[in-house]
Amino acid sequence: MGSSGDAWKLKDHPKLPKGKTVAVIVLDGWGEAKPNEYNAISVAETPVMDSLKQGAPEHWRLIKAHGNAVGLPTEDDMGNSEVGHNALGAGRIFAQGAKLVDLALASGKIYDGEGFKYVQECFEKGTLHLIGLVSDGGVHSRLDQLLLLLKGAAERGAKRICVHALTDGRDVLDGSSVGFMETLENDLAKLREQGVDARVASGGGRMYVTMDRYENDWDVVKRGWDAQILGEAPHHFKDPVEAIKKLRQEPNATDQYLAPFVIVDDNGKPVGPILDGDAVVTFNFRADRMVMLAKALEYEDFDKFDRVRVPKIHYAGMLQYDGELKLPNKYLVSPPEIDRTSGEYLVRNGVRTFACSETVKFGHVTFFWNGNRSGYFDEKLEEYVEIPSDSGITFNVKPKMKALEIAERTRDAILSHKFDQVRVNIPNSDMVGHTGDIKATIEACKAADDGVKMILEAIEQVGGIFLVTADHGNAEDMVKRNKKGEPLLDKNGNIQILTSHTLEPVPIAIGGPGLLPGVRFRTDLPTGGLANVAATFMNLHGFEAPSDYEPTLIEVVDN
Ligand SMILES: O=C(O)[C@@H](CO)OP(=O)(O)O
Ligand SMILES: [Mn+2]
Ligand SMILES: [Mn+2]
């Protein structure tokens, strides 16, 4: 595609005009649930979002943001930013990494590919290292996939295997890392009985070790490098379950922020630094938080931190994390091929596009939005602005994050009249929601609402159109619940805080002075989801969406 201009040409919408400035606002982690004390969004002062809701059903409705609607394996899979922004930007539902890996493992095809063969070359003499997130969250990785991969690799000749485990507590309950590590240890023990020297070699909390994203804080990746590659960490343990239990007792320790540790033998020597001749697989399927480590492992010219020692390894990702950068070069499962995104179509039809967020979500409205592709389609027509995020803090400390700055830059972009589409991600409800701090999350939701207000005011001034939605739920439910929906208590009688995303639907609202009076949400698409949004805003730009896109959510009635 793309060689001929005609292939990209979008049909004019029969009724809707071109040339209106359209603001597409994504509130990250903003779902819809019944008001109650654990619904930070309902408790927070959010006059703008509340007023949009008054527009239901014509200009406000709910859409699905989890499970099959975003290409995840089951309806029990909560949504996440990767699949959410992929669906929003691509306008179609693609089988996502989680599902593709499931299929490749079930069919055994994962072992037939070039990627596995490449790592397999090291099995005779070297160690196979598996680095990734150990939980059943299903957002970045899944423990059951890791266990299958361990078994499969052992059956195919791996004699020595080291797992470098990152603890979660963000997609799953805080404290659950102990149980996941026990499960992993159990399986490793079985492999040891079969004569495979299989063990955990290092660990640390995902937000403090390895899994930074969008180059917000390279120290995070360095801490992982030191533990995983060099075998150096401030804490030494003989047993990984023991390690987690002990480190969780440190002040403010959580699964997400657990200090890095290495496992040592009876002589105090690290059991699994990564050495020349070893194989490495990063087993997360999701891209954003693996790209930085992949760069450190793969790039010869790398200057983000001193790697000290760069082992000669055979490295493969579970997936290729960045198709444009071909990073990593080798991978076990081919990623979804998300082509012909709305971003590319609109730019190729002359829509001048501005995208903005702060660092921790910047790639969401650029990279994920554009089908896991970095960079511009057309530099002359696009501008992507990244507001630097705070680093080295948990976001409950500064719940306003950069919402104001994002809104200001977006307002200025709208008022400049240089853009036809402005697209933003406002991260507060998600990033602060993940800390589990309800009070801070309430402040975060207010800050997000203030940000929306500023952007809508600018749209008002230029006679434009807005579309406000979210990528998945988070802040609308901060407590773990039983099947009846009642809050669950822990053994001390405290509520169990929910730090993860949810299965809730998300709102979508349209409006602004540029919206023709006859435009309203259709009533014949009750199960609409995030993938229906792209066709919707393409219409608002005056175009018909390509015929294979999920249908638009709007219709135009003659008044
Ligand atoms: O922080 C992240 O990596 C995920 C949760 O694991 O959140 P989001 O999908 O909203 O980016
Ligand atoms: Mn998100
Ligand atoms: Mn999130």
Q: Determine the Cα–Cα distance for residues 469 and 475; give it in Å rounded to an integer.
A: 14
Question: Do 528 and 553 form a contact (C-beta atoms < 8 A)?
Answer: yes
287 is in an annotated binding site: yes
Is the pLDDT score of 423 beyond 80? yes
Q: Cα dihedral sign for 218, 219, 225, 228?
A: negative
Which pair of structure tokens corresponds to residue 200? 């955990």
CA angle 252, 139, 89 (to 5 degrees): 120
What does CATH list as the number for 18-95+353-373+386-556? 3.40.720.10
Give, using CA atoms, the residue closest to atom 6 of ligand 1: 171
| Residue from 28, 30, 78, 80 whose mutation best tests the ligand 1 pocket (most atoms within 8 A of CB) | 80
Query: Radius of gyration (Cα) for the chain, nearest Å?
Result: 24
Q: At residue 529, does pLDDT exceed 60?
A: yes
Q: How far is ligand 3, taken at its centre, from the CA of residue 286, in Å?
A: 13
If you average pLDDT over every residue of the chain, what do you get? Answer: 97
Flag whether 129 is marked binding.
no
User: Rounded to an integer, what distance in angstroms lies between the CA atom of residue 361 and that of residue 323?
Assistant: 19
- Is residue 197 exposed (0-12), middle (13-18) or buried (19+ Cβ within 10 Å)? middle
What is the C-alpha to C-alpha distance for residues 390 and 411, in angstroms, rounded to an integer?
22
Reported as a single tens digit per residue, the pLDDT across 84-98 is 999 999 999 999 999
- Ligand 1 neighbourhood includes 41 CB (under 6 angstroms): no
Q: What is the pLDDT of residues 141-176, one digit of tens each?
A: 999 999 999 999 999 999 999 999 999 999 999 999
How would residue 5 be classed by pLDDT, with cut points 50, 70 and 90? low
Region for 209 from its dihedrals, namely left if φ exceeds 0, alpha if ψ lies in -120 to 50, beta otherwise = beta
Q: In the chain, where does the domain assigned CATH 3.40.720.10 lie? A: 18-95+353-373+386-556
User: What ligand 1 atom has the least distance to the C-alpha of 288?
Assistant: 3
- In this prediction, residue 458 carries a pLDDT of 99
DSSP 116-165: HHHHHTTTTTS-EEEEEE-SS--SS--HHHHHHHHHHHHHTT--EEEEEE
Catalytic residues: 81
pLDDT reported for residue 490: 87
pLDDT at residue 521 is higher than 80: yes
Model confidence pLDDT, tens digit, residues 16-70: 999 999 999 999 999 999 999 999 999 999 999 999 999 999 999 999 999 999 9
Instruction: Say what the pLDDT of residue 6 is.
Output: 87
The percent of residues in the chain predicted with pLDDT above 70, rounded, is: 99
- Note residues around ion ligand 2 (Cβ under 5 angstroms): 28, 81, 430, 471
Q: Which residues contact 147 (CB under 8 A, 6 or more apart)?
A: 183, 184, 187
Where in the sequence of the chain do the CATH 3.40.1450.10 domains occur? Answer: 98-333
- DSSP one-letter string for 450-511: HHHHHHHHHHHHHT-EEEEEESS--TT--B-B-TTSPBPB-TTS-B-B--S--S--EEEEEE
Q: What beta strand segments (E) does 40-115 contain? A: 60-63
Ligand 1 atom closest to the CA of 168, numbered from 1 = 6
What tens digit of pLDDT does each residue of 168-195 get?
999 999 999 999 999 999 999 999 999 9
Look at the chain and count its residues.
559
141 Cα: distance to centroid of ligand 1 (angstroms): 12
> Which ranges of 227-362 does DSSP label H, i.e. alpha helix?
240-247, 291-298, 342-348, 359-362
Pocket test for ligand 1, best of 26, 139, 213 (most atoms within 8 A of CB): 139
Question: Is 430 touching ligand 1 by the criterion CB < 6 Å?
Answer: yes
What is the DSSP-derived secondary structure letter of residue 546?
P
For 370-416, write each residue's pLDDT tens digit.
Answer: 999 989 999 999 999 999 999 989 999 999 999 999 999 999 999 99
- Give the pLDDT confidence of 242-264 residue by residue, as tens digits: 999 999 999 989 999 999 999 99
Q: What is the sign, positive or negative, of the torsion defined by CA atoms of 498, 182, 289, 472?
A: negative
Assess whether pLDDT exceeds 70 at residue 4: no
- The answer on pLDDT for 1 being more than 50 is no
Residue in this structure with the two tokens 């997130």, named with its chain if needed:
133
| Section 501-517 average pLDDT | 98
Compute the distance between CA of residue 253 and CA of residue 243 in angstroms, rounded to an integer: 12
Q: Which CATH class is domain 98-333?
A: alpha beta
Using one digit for the tens of pLDDT, what is the confidence trace for 456-481?
999 999 999 999 999 999 999 999 99
| Section 498-524 average pLDDT | 98
Paired tokens of 446: 């207010």
pLDDT at site 491: 86
